[in-house]
Amino acid sequence: MSERPVAMFAMTAENVPRIFPPGVLARLRDLVDIDPALVAEDFTRPAVREALARTEILISGWGCPPLDAAVLEAAPKLRAVLHAAGSVKGFVTPAVWERGLVVSSAAGANALPVAEYTLAMILLAGKDVLTHRDRLRAERAFPHQGVLLGIGNFGRRVGVIGASRTGRRLIELLRPFDLRVGLADPYVDEAGAAALGVTLLPLDALLGGSDVVSVHAPQTAETRHLIGRRELALMPDGSVLVNTARGSLVDHDALVEELRPGRLGAILDVTEPEPLPAHSPLYDLPNAFVTPHLAGSQGNELARLGLVVVGEAERLAAGRVPEFPVDERELGRMA
């Protein structure tokens, strides 16, 4: 067997055992020479700098420091960065691409629980579960006799904003249900939408014709407040906005204006800022359901990210290219 390449973790130290529990770590250590006790939270530490000079593969995660030109100069043998999380925007600098390093990300695996959360919320919104849970809790009696009108998921119109990794995975998960799914994405053409099995719509038409709108666009300067006062006004009475992408994509002040009179509903797993200020009305409005950024990988789902990295390390060891490479050109539009 050939000598194992030297690797090093670069993330918040507490995340190493979470993403690489014993079984996953053992598989990784069969492939690379790595010390789980040495974690680069700061590339200026002497022990880290010394190890960096020998490192061929960097296994990054949440909390990875920036890989700038100075760091890369101290790592002459570095050839690949395997990211055990989602976006690499926060730490991959232009120097990484100039150096020609291989970059891989477990973003696709992290997108799965986000899509699952979103699917659950779409179906619950169709039944208006949260409103009726609160009424039952308050009145201690059924608020209806027999059939409850005005709810249901048969033929409900779902609008997906952004064919990102999460958006595409959500579209897959929605297929078994009797829903009509539309997509708004400037990078997708009619043929691409047909391949996904959805109807391609301009953003305004999607907003105006959907019972539930789910946001999956990337966070860029152009998408800040993508859903603002004008866009929210286009949504039909009683429709619901779901945001599991980034809080900055929605204008929260404008959203509150639509929520106060009860015209719309909102399910927000991401906000701006995070967490919301203690005085935010979004905590108390009955038609706003806010969760603490938990849609992404949590608990036992973190091991899935580690397994992606193990798979990528196996491919590198076999002389193959990564299955989940990151393309610099796609960073601005993939989420």
For residue 73, what is the domain's CATH number?
A: 3.40.50.720
Q: What is the mean pLDDT of residues 149-164?
A: 95
Under the banding of pLDDT at 50, 70 and 90, the label for residue 3 is: confident
Would you say residue 119 lies in a domain? no
Would you say residue 113 lies in a domain? no
Same domain, 174 and 239: yes
Same domain, 166 and 276: yes
Same domain, 255 and 307: no
Q: Tell me which residues are annotated as active site.
A: 246, 274, 293
Same domain, 102 and 160: no
Would you say residue 136 lies in a domain? no
Same domain, 12 and 58: yes
pLDDT at 328 over 80: no
pLDDT at 247: 98
pLDDT at 302: 98
Would you say residue 116 lies in a domain? no
pLDDT at 331 over 70: no
pLDDT top residue among 331 and 260: 260
pLDDT at 2: 53
Q: What percent of the chain has pLDDT over 70?
A: 97
pLDDT at 248 over 50: yes
Per-residue HEC secondary structure of the chain comes to CCCCCEEEEECCHHHHHHHCCHHHHHHHHHHCECCCCCECCCCCCHHHHHHHCCCCEEEECCCCCCECHHHHHCCCCCCEEEECCCCCCCCECHHHHHHCCEEEECHHHHHHHHHHHHHHHHHHHHCCHHHHHHHHHHHCCCCCCCCCCCCCCCCEEEEEECCCHHHHHHHHHHCCCCEEEEEECCCCCHHHHHHHCCEECCHHHHHHCCCEEEECCCCCCCCCCCECHHHHHHCCCCCEEEECCCHHHECHHHHHHHHCCCCCEEEECCCCCCCCCCCCHHHCCCCEEECCCCCCCCHHHHHHHHHHHHHHHHHHHCCCCCCCECCHHHCCCCC
Would you say residue 324 lies in a domain? yes
Would you say residue 94 lies in a domain? yes
Would you say residue 127 lies in a domain? no
Query: Where is average pLDDT lowest: 168-172, 231-235, 271-275, 328-332?
Result: 328-332
Same domain, 102 and 17: yes
Q: Using one digit for the tens of pLDDT, what is the confidence trace for 100-123?
A: 999 999 999 999 999 999 999 999
Q: What is the mean pLDDT of residues 30-34?
A: 97
Same domain, 200 and 304: no
Would you say residue 281 lies in a domain? yes
Expressed as residue numbers, the domain containing 310 is 6-107+299-333
pLDDT top residue among 175 and 134: 175
pLDDT at 251: 98
Under the banding of pLDDT at 50, 70 and 90, the label for residue 138 is: confident
- pTM value is 0.92
Under the banding of pLDDT at 50, 70 and 90, the label for residue 1 is: very low
pLDDT at 329: 64
Same domain, 280 and 313: no
Q: What is the mean pLDDT of residues 61-68?
A: 97
Tally of domains within the chain: 2
The per-residue pLDDT of the chain, averaged, comes to 95
pLDDT at 131: 86
